[in-house]
Each structure stands twice: as C-alpha cells, then as structure tokens.
A and B are shown apart, each in its own frame.
Chain A
C-alpha cells in the first residue's frame, strides 16, 4: 500500500515538477522572483542587519506563494485537461493527488529555498535541531496551503476566475501577515485578523526558532497545528473531488 502511494506521489511530482522544470527551467524565475525582490529592497532600505528578517520572510513567502499558486495548476488539470476526472475514476485518492502535485510545485522552489536557508544559517548560526524545526514549520505551512488550494480548486468552475482568486489569496496569506515585520507594528484590529491567518503563526514560530527566543512558543505551535487539523477537516468536508455536487 505504502509502495503504491509513494509511486503515485512520485509520478505526480514528475508531472507537475520535475518534467516541466527540466523542460522549462525559466519557470523558476516566476516562483522566486518576488521573495528575492523583497529581500533586495529590505537589504537596500534596512541594511545588512535586516537581511535575516528578509530571508525568514523569503523562505515563508516562497512556500506560501507556491502552495497558493497550486490552485491554478489544479484547476487547469481539472477543467482544461480533465486529468482530475481520469484520476478520480482510478483508486488514487484526492490526498495522494494533491500532495503529489504539491510536491511537484515545491520542486520549483527548491533552489530559492536553499539560498534563503543558507542565508538564515549563515546569519543566525542555528544548529541542526533548529534547522529541522524550521523545516517542520515550513512543511506544516505547505500542508495547510496545499489543502486550501485543493479545496478552492474543486469549488471554482471557470479557469478565468482562479487568476484573481489566487492573486488575492497570495496577498492575504503571503503579504498581509507579519512575515517581513513584527506583528506589533500592526493596528490592534488588524492584529486580530492577522492571527486568523496560519502564516502569522508560522512567522512567529520561525522568528522564535531562528532567533533562539523560545519563550511563549507553545501557544503559536499548538494553534498552528490546530489550524492544520482544521483545514484538513474543512477540506475533507467541503471539497468536490468528484463531480457529485455539480
């Protein structure tokens, strides 16, 4: 069973990641250009002391952006290619499908993530345990937003609707939350809204891990994991893997 699942995930990763990246390497630019632009401006206006903040923001934004953009791929495969219909009539389940394609999307971010991680390690001198904690936080973020993308893609019926939707979610999840700044700079009301977005908790956790300031980290960690479980339940209940509600 596990062997079959890994084969399915590996083949979907090739379809959505390895093969397109191999044949169209220029696509890399689309995924990493925005976080590197932010890093550049942070360095330009904040100086070398802010480069760590820019790299933490960059690594998180890259994951959130790539996972949010998965909506477009999923919808294209569903509506234009009818690939989802083909897969849905086989024993492959929606979770395997989503994570196979989501892993494919991550392939595009790997070079960018590697550079950001190098900057983080170089600037903060974090150890193996902290690196693993960073990776763990990023993985939970990836799971949350990949599931969310799947949920959205199964509810949208027109290809042209997904472009504004995915840009909107990219901003809501990747730019508005305090990724590149401290949450305390936001007005109180906006802070409450920001706390609803999983990216906020991911940013708090990452900053805590990387700056080795672990005080008060338990609550963000618990809320973050609860949010992941919430989105899992929500996606299972409200997504349309097949066409039953059409």
Chain B
C-alpha cells in the first residue's frame, strides 16, 4: 500500500515578466499514515503553492509529489479521481444554497440524481448544516459560507482532501465547527492535508505537523516529537527589559519587540525568578508549546506581520 503523500526535492518557481520568485525551494517530506497532516507556516512559506502542485494545478520545476503512489504530473488524470480541494479564500455562489452546492457538485462529478441527493443529505447532516442548508449563501455568515465550501469538498468520496487554510478569517466558534467536520472525516479513516498558520488548529487537528518557512520544509512530527526537538521543557516570557542579566546561560533566548522568550528547563526556573532584575518585570511561565517549537525552528513568531 502506497503512503498517502510523498514530496521529494520539490521546487516551484513563479516566473512573471522575467522576474523569478522561488515559492518552494525544497519540500522533502513523507506522510506515511492516514489522518490529518498539517502544513504550518507563515504567509508566503509555500503552503498554498504546495497544495496547487499536489492538486495538479501547477507543475513543479523540480522533484515530485506522489499521492497514494500517483505522481501529480504523470498520473494526473487518475489522481483527479482521488483528490478533493478547498482552495484558499474560496467562496460559494451567492445565489445558491449550501444544499445546492453539494448536490450539484456531486452531479458534476458524475453521481446520479438519487446518489447526489443522498450524499448531500449525509454531508449536510454530518457537518451540522441542516439549519441553514436551504438558505441562499448571500444571506449566510462567513463561517457558514466557509463550511459550505468544506462540505462540497468533503462530499466527494476520495482518498485525500486538500484544505487550504479552510478557517482563515473565521471566529473561534465557527472555526471549531470546521474542526469538528474535519475530525469526523479523520475518524472515518480519510487522509486530509491541511494548511494553516493557526497553531491551535494544527495542534488540535493534526496527527502530524510539517513546519515550513520561506519555501523550505523544516521539520515534521507529531506534537510530542516536535516539542522534543527543543531540549527544554519550560518557556519563560519576559515582557520588558532584563538588562544586566545574561539569560543565555539558562537556555535559548528569542527576542522580539514585545520582549524575550527564554526556553529553559524547570530546574532553572527558581534561579531565574530569584534574580532581582527579573522580579521587576512581567513574566509568564509555562510548558513548551507548538508556538515555541515554531519560533525555535524558524527563528520567527508565526504571528509576526500577520496583517
């Protein structure tokens, strides 16, 4: 049985009027098990380009992507029967209802009338969309519209779903609605590749996370594996200056315009807190999280310049 996804030495360059932009420099990673794999990275890190290559929209300049053993270039016709996509910032037709979206998308993909109807009913029910399924999309909230797009994609009975930032711009409650939908599909044994720059989303949904930055694939693993890449177990965020105190002696320091974050071990906490300089500042202490792993691997906070 082939693995859900293999990406080897993938490179993609955009060319526009003689100007070249390297969108993906080197993505080499393997998704060996079914479930949710999240690509986590800031805007411009190559996540969406990767989805476009994987869904046969773009051809790579170098390397390959295979989905369940099918190459995105050589086996593209076969592959299109195996995948489904929610593109980034996609929107539903304003004049149609969510039910019509799912039903007609089914028919468009060759299902008959009864089959399309059954599938639409099932998906609408599964995603908890019954209440607004017969309302024109122009009258729906942003979250309901997004859920419509997800429902369309998930309605296809395929092997791999590509969801490109499916919750971008949604409030936390609506995001959780989309998460539940994704979780249901994951539990049903489907494979989902999700791109996101929301750390909580990646942490909550993913079986494995791949961290990407500036067109390079940096690291992959489950949450515990990623946490263990940091040799520390504790983070101390110091908001303010700490002049005169050499934090480096206690661990790894990351500074930004809000202050510093020290990655250290629990045994150092007491020593650090007893320092008089530190005691004047506002500090937060907690276990290492995915955001810390991201900072440590990429060297930048994922939220910087987000808007």
Contact = CB atoms under 8 A, between A and B. Distances in A.
Contact of A242 (B57, B81, B136, B153): B57
Contacts of A20: 95
14 contacts: A7-B111, A81-B90, A81-B93, A85-B57, A85-B90, A86-B85, A86-B86, A86-B152, A89-B55, A89-B57, A90-B84, A242-B56, A242-B58, A244-B57
A161 interface: no
A78 to B, nearest CB: 11
Interface of B: 14, 16, 52, 55-59, 77, 80-81, 83-93, 95-96, 100, 104-105, 107-112, 136, 152-153, 156, 162
B107 A10 contact: yes
Nearest to B152: A86
A48 to B, nearest CB: 40
B92 A89 contact: no
A89 B80 contact: yes
A244 B59 contact: yes
Given A15-B93, A83-B93, A89-B85, 7 more contacts: A11-B104, A14-B100, A14-B104, A85-B57, A85-B85, A89-B84, A243-B57
Interface string A1-35: 00110011011101100011001100000000000
What is the predominant secondary structure among interface residues of chain A facing chain B?
A: helix
A18 B152 CA distance: 20
B58 A244 contact: yes
A150 B167 CA distance: 31
Contacts of B52: 85, 243
Q: Which one of B56, B104, B152, B153 has the greatest number of beta carbons of chain A within 10 Å?
A: B104
A134 B107 CA distance: 32
Contacts of A86: 85-87, 90, 152-153
The interface size bin for chain A is 20 to 34
Contacts of A92: 108-109
Contact of B81 (A87, A88, A91): A91
A88 B77 contact: no
The 7 A-B residue pairs whose C-beta atoms are closest, nearest first, are: A82-B90, A4-B110, A89-B55, A11-B107, A82-B87, A11-B104, A11-B108
B62 to A, nearest CB: 15
Given A85-B85, A91-B80, A8 B58 contact: no
A12 B108 contact: yes
Contacts of B56: 88-89, 242
A81 B77 CA distance: 24
B108 A90 contact: yes
